[in-house]
């Protein structure tokens, strides 16, 4: 974590994301309905799905912050992956409704020309979505929170789909009545893709995916700095939301006493906790060698 302010930002960003997505959804659907813009209404449905997923993420972050106990020795961090799965489900359902509505429009041949207010509303939505993406991505990256990064990706998707809607509206104004409906289809396909990616991220987290190789290298380097460590025999890691849990086995000389082995193991644990960011807990085992 680069700045101490990141903790406060991490607490406020999810709240702003929920309220912001709710207001954005109401704004887009209202203006899209009044101006006859299928693309803007589709983008509003996307924001509504984002709002629901942001609510799940906000609740998940509250639960994940609870300390570990006897029943949950590794803490509650995996609830963030469950919230990611919920968010991806809402996005998938929203994308399906947008896609079906767009197909009906093509079949019926209804091509209502969107009003000028739709253009201004789309530009405002684009700027707002991008600001939410910057805020959530910064906090999620600094805190290594999969839930906040998922929320940031949703805001990023929202801003990109707003660009598609804007291009569709411009195309409709230039005399291509199908452009707005085509934009709605593009929006739905993009949301489908985002939902699948988020779903896979949540699954990977639930099945104890290992940490990045760079983090593994930092753990090994911190361990080898301790006098008495002859090598690192094995490392097993698991991601628990914002924290990582480490099971490491180090090589030590078989000639030293049990007390010395214990001291070395404790020094390794302290070194990893102090030098490697995002560690929630460590189990250090020793293996005697010649």
- What's residue 110's pLDDT? 53
pLDDT tens per residue, range 29-86: 888 888 777 767 777 877 777 787 777 777 777 777 777 777 777 777 777 788 778 8
Question: What is the pTM assigned to this prediction?
Answer: 0.63
* CA Rg value for the chain: 24
For the chain, list residues with pLDDT below 70.
1-11, 39, 109-115, 144, 180, 241-242
Neighbours of 196 (CB within 10 A): 14
The per-residue pLDDT for 2 is 54
Residue 153, classified by CB atoms within 10 Å of its CB into exposed (0-12), middle (13-18) or buried (19+), is buried
pLDDT digits (tens, 9 = 90+) for 222-240: 889 999 888 888 888 877 7
Domains of the chain: 5-206 (1.20.1510.10), 213-289 (3.30.70.1350)
Instruction: Give every CB contact of residue 282 below 8 A, 6+ residues apart in sequence.
Output: 245, 246, 247, 248, 269, 272, 273
pLDDT at 3: 54
């Amino acid at each position: 974590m680069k700045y101490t302010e990141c903790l406060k930002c991490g607490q406020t960003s999810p709240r702003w994301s929920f309220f912001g997505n709710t207001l954005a959804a109401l704004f887009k659907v209202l203006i899209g309905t009044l101006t006859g813009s299928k693309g803007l209404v589709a983008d509003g449905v996307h924001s509504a799905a984002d709002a629901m997923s942001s609510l799940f993420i906000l609740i998940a972050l509250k639960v994940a912050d609870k300390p570990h106990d006897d029943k949950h020795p590794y803490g509650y961090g995996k609830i963030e992956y469950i919230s990611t799965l919920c968010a991806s489900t809402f996005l998938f359902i929203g994308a399906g409704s947008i896609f079906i509505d767009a197909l009906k429009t093509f079949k019926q041949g209804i091509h209502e020309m969107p009003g000028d207010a739709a253009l201004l509303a789309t530009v405002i939505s684009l700027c707002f979505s991008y600001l939410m993406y910057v805020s959530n991505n910064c906090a999620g990256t600094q805190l290594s929170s999969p839930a906040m990064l998922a929320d940031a990706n949703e805001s990023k998707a929202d801003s990109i789909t707003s660009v598609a809607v804007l291009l569709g509206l411009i195309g409709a104004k230039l005399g291509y009545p199908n452009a707005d409906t085509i934009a709605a289809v593009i929006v739905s396909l993009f949301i489908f893709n985002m939902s699948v990616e988020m779903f896979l991220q949540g699954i990977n987290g639930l099945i104890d995916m290992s940490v990045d190789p760079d983090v593994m290298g930092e753990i090994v380097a911190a361990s080898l700095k301790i006098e008495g460590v002859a090598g690192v025999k094995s490392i097993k890691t698991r991601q628990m939301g914002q924290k990582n849990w480490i099971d490491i086995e180090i090589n030590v000389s078989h000639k030293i006493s049990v007390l010395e082995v214990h001291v070395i193991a404790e020094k390794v644990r302290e070194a990893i906790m102090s030098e490697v960011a995002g560690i929630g807990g460590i189990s250090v085992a020793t293996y005697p060698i010649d």
